[in-house]
Amino acid sequence: MGIDWTPDADLSRLSTFRIGGRAEWLATVHTEKALRTLLSRVAAEDLRFDLVGLGSNVLFPDRGLDGLVVRLEGEFKRIRYSGSIVEVGAAVALPKLARRTAQRGLSGLEPLCGFPSTVGGAVVMNAGCYGVEIKDVLLGCRVLGRDGTPADLAVEDLAAGYRTTNLQGSGRVVVSARFRLQEGDSAVALARIEEINEKRWASLPLGQPNVGSIFKNPPGDHAGRLIDECGLKGREAGRAQISPKHGNVIVNTGGAGSSDVLELMLAAYHAVERRFGVRLEPEIILAGELRREWDESLRCQTPSPIHVTN
């Protein structure tokens, strides 16, 4: 059928946060045909369905997830070239694609070389880095609807904005994407990748599990700067910590749970809102019931006193 089934899968192994309970079923899907069949069944039986890529932008709940967690492999990792047009499977890692295209003398993806996402996930969220967003080089993508029905969309169909497209929350699954790149000098493109990677890694904590930026940047500012100004670098909850190196990154210092991360997120949210009047919006995916818990906490929870430094 093109699907490998794993019961009671460890979600913490599927996330760079190394946090999460057990998935009722993990389905590793190798072909579009198999994925279409699976989605059709999911729709007919009204099953819970979660798609995970590199797990670099998701917080899984400690109590795990019911239903299906799906990963794409096999033909979803193909890369095809036609001149400056590149067709890419949704499971290809974006940093790998940036390097592969640079090696072929195709430029345009270098600023995204450090963005830890699959192509599919990057398209869904309109990933961006160093002034370039996916929509700037994307021609379009192929998606499967909730029931497995395929559709080919142009980039204009996605209503792409800052860290958002209309694919988010739609239940549609990206299976491939097409990019228009520019022919150029391979050595120059590869040198740019090295430069960007050095700059990126210098600003991030290394050696500690994390998922990068926790919050989206508010218009005209940076979430990390606002959190820094609130004196929250180094704040801990359980085994989670707001990185002393970057205010918009939470690290797992060893054995952290999803509740620890949510506690720190709420602390940062309330501190920034109180001091600057800015309401930070999560950039990471809060899986399962975590998004509901986050929303309910903002509606119902009275902020606990937080020490704010000047």
- The list of the chain residues with pLDDT below 70 reads 1, 301-310
Q: Calculate the alpha carbon distances from 52 to 16, 58, 73, 200 in Å.
A: 12, 8, 11, 24
Separation of alpha carbons 292 and 310, rounded Å: 33
Q: Is residue 44 part of a domain?
A: yes
Number of domains in the chain: 3
Domain identity same for 69 and 92: no
* Host domain of residue 46: 3-74
Last residue of a domain, one of 151, 168, 200: 200
CATH at residue 281: 3.90.78.10
Q: Is residue 264 part of a domain?
A: yes
Separation of alpha carbons 136 and 49, rounded Å: 30
pLDDT at 198: 87
Q: What is the pTM of this model?
A: 0.89
Domain identity same for 85 and 11: no
pLDDT at 306: 36
- DSSP code string of 141-197: EEEE-TTS-EEEEEGGGG--BTTB-TTTTS--EEEEEEEE-EE--HHHHHHHHHHHH
3-state secondary structure 22-77: EEEEEEEECCHHHHHHHHHHHHHHCCCEEECCCCCCEECCCCCEEEEEEEECHHHH
CATH at residue 7: 3.30.43.10
- According to DSSP, residue 118 is labeled B
User: Would you name the residues annotated as active-site residues?
Assistant: 163, 213, 283
Domain identity same for 184 and 255: no
Domain identity same for 135 and 165: yes
